Amino acid sequence: MRYEIKGEPMPVAICTLQNGETLNCEGGAMSWMTPNMKMETSGGGAGKMFGRLFSGESVFQNRYTAQGGEGMIAFASSFPGSIRAVEITPDHPVIVQKKGYLASEAGVELSVSFQRKGMAGFFGGEGFIMQKLSGHGTAFVEIDGSTVEYVLAPGQQLIVNTGNVAMMDATCSIDIQQVHGVKNVLFGGEGLFNTVVTGPGKVLLQTMPMSGLAAAISAVLPKK
């Protein structure tokens, strides 16, 4: 497979497949393709279907296979930001935000990632369940807004506003930290909790989560 990513801030991943190559994607992600791309819709079993449902994706996935020669298919982002191509290997799985998965080669497995600490699930901004990409192949991940990367050493921590964690190595962990001080909580405008990411591993942060943009637009809309 060859690919190129074009068009930020509303990007698209354009993939060229050799005969017989397959890409999986989230339902509705396909934007355009050549006529020789064969589509198949599959749930992959009850366990995988429920896992995708809980992790924010649709129950069914679409599989596109090039037939009779080289084929092309494009997957567009659903939100202003960027698309990252991530190389997944058995020793390098990654954790992504809910609905961050866009598409992947057939060897990449999409599953549920439960946060190790319950409080992180309820107050950490990404919910109790995130997505885990494992296996082998290239995956395409959506990130809201612009992206900033950090590489954390073992035990090194980063305090992040809720919702700004887009993707991280599976070696990292997430917890929550309460904002201290009554005035800080009431007047600081930062909410009651922050997310704490602990290394080792790479962390990708997004500058404008979808929820943040929705709140900013709502604040300036005319009130009836």
Q: How many CB atoms lie within 10 A of CB 79?
A: 15
221 Cβ neighbours under 8 A, 6+ residues apart: none
Q: Where are the domains of the chain?
A: 2-214
56 contacts 103 by C-beta, under 8 angstroms: no
Q: How many helices (H) and strands (E) does the chain have?
A: 4, 19
CA-based torsion, 144, 91, 117, 60: positive or negative: positive
Residue at 198: amino acid letter: T
The H-assigned helical ranges of the chain are 46-54, 118-123, 182-187, 210-220
pLDDT along the chain (224 residues), means of 10: 93 97 91 97 58 55 96 93 96 92 94 64 55 96 94 96 90 80 46 83 90 64 73
Angle at 211 between CA 189 and CA 118, to 5 degrees: 80
**Cα gap 64→72, rounded to integer Å:** 10
| pLDDT tens digit sequence for 131-155 | 999 999 999 999 999 899 999 999 9
Tokens of residue 110, six digits: 């999409």
Q: How many CB atoms lie within 10 A of CB 154?
A: 9
- Tell me the sheet residues that pair with 89: 92
181 contacts 143 by C-beta, under 8 angstroms: no
Is CATH 3.40.50.800 what the domain over 2-214 is classified as, yes or no?
no
| pLDDT tens digit sequence for 168-191 | 999 999 888 776 544 444 444 455
The SS3 of residue 144 is strand
103 Cβ neighbours under 8 A, 6+ residues apart: 13, 15, 23, 24, 25, 26, 29, 75, 139, 140
